């Protein structure tokens, strides 16, 4: 085994690339097949395995309609898990079994999707594919092992554009035995709300009424609060788990006056710390931040956390809420400084040469104007993948433990955050230019009129969704399925 591993490492380092090219020429075969096997092995090493545990963690979740104050305004009718926004933080240890008794007390059928979590296919919460919708008054038992540590979230996968927007989302945190201990840990769920003058949720949820650019709210919130205030001492190290639960809004964050580094994306620890400033947190994305509060700050000074992402389709300033998302007030000086290094993942596969492998599947994201709208038939536009709406596609067939090179192209002048259920992928290129993201993700932003290529190794069998996580687009058809078989 050791010899095999050494050989693989050698090929991996491309010391044998000349040899493989020669073999390729002699055999007239594809010269990349050997590399793909290594991609798969490296990916398995990256995933590793969860510590074993006999612990079963029980939770109860009830989706209800209730009254809550959103932002700092008046109470309004919302839909929420356990009557709170965000829903409860479910915190477990890697390797533990999670068992959730779910009850639907909404006026609509619903499901729960565990976003980014590798679950058995029948626990994935996709109605009509992995389970029956949970009708009003009904219950459903979700049960799965926490295979991967990190920051995840859960939300309905039925009429998500309405149910998520009304407040149905919660956080799943899977702790790793190797997580460093920070002075503080904060969980921030970012959302924007489209409220009317009375502070009530704008009710344009019919397909005809949907904003094809995506619903951008006029009130930005962190955990349902407008510009919440946190406190920390100068010199403190804070872990912030950030989740973008917005239907359509992208965020980029600035931590003025302090040092903030991203060390996990979509739950996965990165191969190196990343700058937070230019990282786009698209709908569905999560990042974990290592924040060191500057030592130069004095008591009562403020660190402002702002959103700097500008949506090109924002029509007027009603669509652009306040840029400041939260403030951190300095309450004094930390006595002792935490010195541990920012966590890094030491086994991020380089997948060198992945971009040169043939593209296995292309997904073209586009929109079609519905001319029939003039005669009152359906919404004004449909959103399609490869010219078809959800339900019209042939399911893409993938084999477990094979490497696939996927290409996504955007025929629209709109954003499409691409989410694939049940697997993590690595971005290989943007607009044909190779990029080396030192991490895996489950959601990536496909920008206006652009393309991205990704590499992926599915390891869990079943039918998995591949869709736009801009929830108005998925509602209007921009979803398809892949099926992973042995």
Q: Name the site residues for Cu ion (rule: CB under 5 A).
A: 416, 468, 470, 473
Least separation in angstroms between CB 410 and Cu ion: 9
Q: Are 292 and 334 in contact (CB under 8 A)?
A: no
Min separation Cβ 304 and Cu ion, Å: 31
- Record the tokens describing residue 394, joined without a space: 């042939």
In this complex, which beta carbon is closest to Cu ion, that of residue 145 or of residue 416? 416
- Taking the least distance from each CB to Cu ion, the nearer of 217 and 284 is 284
Q: Please identify, using beta-carbon distances, which residue of 106 and 482 lies nearer to Cu ion.
A: 482
> What CA–CA distance (Å, rounded) separates 240 from 463?
33
Q: How far is the CB of 88 from Cu ion (least distance, A)?
A: 29
- Closest to Cu ion by CB, 237 or 419: 419
Can you tell me the distance from the alpha carbon of 88 to that of 368, in angstroms, rounded to the nearest whole number?
A: 39
Q: Which is nearer to Cu ion, 239 or 441 (CB)?
A: 441
Residue 65's DSSP bridge partners are 79
Sign of CA dihedral 7, 12, 15, 18: positive
Closest CA relative to residue 204, chosen from 236, 380, 284, 195: 195
| Sign (positive or negative) of CA dihedral 480, 362, 455, 277 | negative
Residue 362 and residue 104: Cα distance in Å, rounded?
38
The whole-angstrom separation of Cα 457 and Cα 452 is 17
41/207 with CB nearer Cu ion: 207
Q: For 383, how many CA atoms within 13 A lie in the half-sphere containing its CB?
A: 28
Residue 355 sits at the vertex; the CA angle it makes with 349 and 356, to the nearest 5 degrees, is 120
Give which of 68, 163, 66, 155 is closest to 109, Cα–Cα: 163
Check if the beta carbon of residue 204 is closer than 8 Å to that of residue 162: no
Question: Cα–Cα distance between 390 and 160 in angstroms, integer?
Answer: 15
- Identity of the residue, 213 or 458, whose beta carbon is nearer to Cu ion in the bound complex: 213
Provide, rounded to whole angstroms, the least separation between the CB of residue 372 and Cu ion: 22
Task: Fill in the DSSP letter of residue 201.
Answer: B
Are 397 and 485 contacting, i.e. CB atoms less than 8 angstroms apart? yes
Distance of closest approach, residue 338 Cβ to Cu ion, in angstroms? 41
Instruction: Using DSSP, state whether 1 is helix, strand or coil.
Output: coil
Q: How far is the CB of 360 from Cu ion (least distance, A)?
A: 22
Strands of the sheet containing 324-333, edge to edge, are 229-234, 324-333, 302-307, 253-255
* CB of residue 416 to Cu ion, shortest distance in Å: 3
C-alpha span between 189 and 124 (Å, rounded): 21
For residues 51 and 139, is the Cβ–Cβ distance under 8 A?
A: no
Closer residue to Cu ion, CB minimum distance, 366 or 402: 366
393, 411, 412, 429, 477 from 416: Cα distances, Å? 19, 11, 9, 16, 13
State in angstroms the smallest separation of the CB of 390 from Cu ion: 12
Smallest distance, Cu ion to C-beta of residue 356, A? 29
> Nearest distance from residue 363's CB to Cu ion, in Å?
12
Least distance in Å: CB of 475 to Cu ion? Answer: 10
Question: Least Å distance between CB 198 and Cu ion?
Answer: 30
Q: Which is nearer to Cu ion, 188 or 383 (CB)?
A: 383
Shorter beta-carbon distance to Cu ion: residue 102 or 365: 365
343/380 with CB nearer Cu ion: 380
HSE-up of 49 (CA within 13 Å, CB side)? 3
For Cu ion, give the closer residue by CB, 234 or 412.
412
The minimum distance between CB 82 and Cu ion, in angstroms, equals: 30
Question: With respect to Cu ion, which residue has the nearer C-beta, 470 or 481?
Answer: 470
Convert 341-374 to b/e letters by CB count within 10 Å (16 or more is b): ebbebeebbbbebbbebeeeeebebbbeebeeee
């Amino acid at each position: 085994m050791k010899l095999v591993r050494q050989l693989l490492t050698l090929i991996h380092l491309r010391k044998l690339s000349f040899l493989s090219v020669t073999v390729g020429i002699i055999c007239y075969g594809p010269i990349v097949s050997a590399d793909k096997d290594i991609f798969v092995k490296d990916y398995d090493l990256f995933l590793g395995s969860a510590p074993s545990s006999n612990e079963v963690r029980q939770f109860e979740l009830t989706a209800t309609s209730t009254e809550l104050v959103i932002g700092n305004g008046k109470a309004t009718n919302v839909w929420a898990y356990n009557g709170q926004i965000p829903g409860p933080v479910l915190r477990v240890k890697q390797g533990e079994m999670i068992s959730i008794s779910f009850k639907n007390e909404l006026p609509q059928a619903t499901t729960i999707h565990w976003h980014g979590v590798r679950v058995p296919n029948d626990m994935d919460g996709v109605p009509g594919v992995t389970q029956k919708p949970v009708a009003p008054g009904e219950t459903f038992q979700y049960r799965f092992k926490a295979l991967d540590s990190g920051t995840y979230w859960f939300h309905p996968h039925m009429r998500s554009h309405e149910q998520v927007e009304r407040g149905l989302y919660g956080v799943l945190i899977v702790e790793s035995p190797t997580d460093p201990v920070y002075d503080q840990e904060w969980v921030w769920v970012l959302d924007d709300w489209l409220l009317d003058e009375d502070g009530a949720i704008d009710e344009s949820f019919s397909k005809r009424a949907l904003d094809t650019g995506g619903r951008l709210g006029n009130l930005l919130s962190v955990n349902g609060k407008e510009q919440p205030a946190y406190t920390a001492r100068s010199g403190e190290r804070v872990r912030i788990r950030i989740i973008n639960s917005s239907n359509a809004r992208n965020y980029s964050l600035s931590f003025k006056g302090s040092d903030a580094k991203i060390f996990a994306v979509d739950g996965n620890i990165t191969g190196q710390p990343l700058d937070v400033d230019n990282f786009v947190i698209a709908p569905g994305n999560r990042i974990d931040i290592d924040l060191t509060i500057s030592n130069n700050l004095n008591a009562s000074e403020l660190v402002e956390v702002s959103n700097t992402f500008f949506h090109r389709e924002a029509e007027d300033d009603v669509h652009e809420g306040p840029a400041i998302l939260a403030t951190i007030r300095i309450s004094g000086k930390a006595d002792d400084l935490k010195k541990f290094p920012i966590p890094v993942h030491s086994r991020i596969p380089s997948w060198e040469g992945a971009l040169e492998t043939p593209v296995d599947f292309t997904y073209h994201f586009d929109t079609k104007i519905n001319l029939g709208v003039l005669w009152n038939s359906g919404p004004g536009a449909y959103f399609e993948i490869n010219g078809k709406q959800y339900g019209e596609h042939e399911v893409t067939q993938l084999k477990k433990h094979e490497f696939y090179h996927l290409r996504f192209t955007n025929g629209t002048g709109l954003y499409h955050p691409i989410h694939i259920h049940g697997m993590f992928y690595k971005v290989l290129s943007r607009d044909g230019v190779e990029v080396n993201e030192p991490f895996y993700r489950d959601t990536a932003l496909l920008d206006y009129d652009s393309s991205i290529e990704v590499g992926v190794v599915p390891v869990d069998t079943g039918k998995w969704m591949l869709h736009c996580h801009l929830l108005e687009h998925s509602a209007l058809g921009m979803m398809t399925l892949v099926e992973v078989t042995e």
